[in-house]
Amino acid sequence: MMDSKDQRAQKEHKDRKDGDKASRRLTFVKLLEKLLGAREVEVLQPTESESVEDEGRPVTESSFNITTPPICATQGVTPGNVSDSNLPTKSDDLGIIVGLLGSIPRWHKGSVINFAAYARGYPTDADAVYAAQQLNRAALYWNRINVGVTFRWVGKLEDAAFVLSYGGNQGGLVARAFFPNNRDLNDMIVYKRAFDPDLKPNMWRYFLHELGHVLGLRHEFAPEREQNSGATKFGPRDPLSVMEYRPEPPMITALDAESTKAFYAIPAGPGPSYIGNTPLAVFHPDN
User: What pLDDT digit, counting tens, does each position of 165-198 carry?
Assistant: 999 999 999 999 999 998 889 999 999 999 999 9
Q: How confident is the model at residue 228 (pLDDT cuts 50, 70, 90)?
A: very low
Residue 76 has pLDDT above 60, yes or no: no
> Can you spell out the DSSP letters for the chain?
---HHHHHHHHHHHHHHHHHHHHHHHHHHHHHHHHH-GGGG-BPPP-------S-SSPPPGGG---SS--EE--S----GGGTTS-PPP--PPP--EE-BTTBEEEEPTT-EEEEEEBSSSSSSHHHHHHHHHHHHHHHHHHHHHT-S-EEEE-S-GGG-SEEEEE----TTEEEE---S---S-EEEEE-GGGGSTTTGGGHHHHHHHHHHHHHTEEPTTHHHHSTTS--EE-S---TT-TTS--SSPP---HHHHHHHHHHHHS---SS--EETTEEEEEE----
Whether residue 1 lies inside any domain: the answer is: no
Residues written for the chain: 287
Residues 6+ apart with CB under 8 A from 227: none
Averaged confidence pLDDT in the chain: 77
Most confident of 18-22, 31-35, 190-194: 190-194
Q: Is 171 left (phi over 0), alpha (psi -120 to 50) or beta?
A: left
Q: How confident is the model at residue 112 (pLDDT cuts 50, 70, 90)?
A: very high
Residue 110 has pLDDT above 50, yes or no: yes
Whether residue 2 lies inside any domain: the answer is: no
Q: How confident is the model at residue 19 (pLDDT cuts 50, 70, 90)?
A: low
Residue 85 has pLDDT above 50, yes or no: no
pLDDT score of 11: 53
Q: With contact defined as beta carbons under 8 Å apart, do 13 and 20 qualify?
A: no
Count Cβ atoms below 10 Å from residue 205 Cβ, excluding itself: 22
Phi, psi dihedral angles at 118 (to 5 degrees):
-60, 140
What are the tens digits of pLDDT across the range 114-133? 999 999 999 999 999 999 99
Split into its structural domains, the chain has a count of 1
Q: How confident is the model at residue 68 (pLDDT cuts 50, 70, 90)?
A: low
Higher-pLDDT residue of 55 and 270 is 270
Residue 276 belongs to domain with CATH number: 3.40.390.10
Residues 6+ apart with CB under 8 A from 122: 80, 128, 131, 166
Count Cβ atoms below 10 Å from residue 244 Cβ, excluding itself: 19
The pTM is what?
0.77
Residue 249 has pLDDT above 60, yes or no: yes
Please state the rounded mean pLDDT for residues 224-240.
Answer: 55
pLDDT score of 61: 39
Domain that holds residue 130: 8-57+66-283
Please state the rounded mean pLDDT for residues 255-277.
Answer: 84
Half-sphere exposure of 110 (CA within 13 A, CB side): 2
Residues 6+ apart with CB under 8 A from 256: 96, 212, 238, 241, 242, 243
Burial class (CB in 10 A: 0-12, 13-18, 19+), 239: exposed
pLDDT score of 229: 41
Q: How confident is the model at residue 252 (pLDDT cuts 50, 70, 90)?
A: very high
Cα 43 from Cα 154, distance rounded (Å):
9
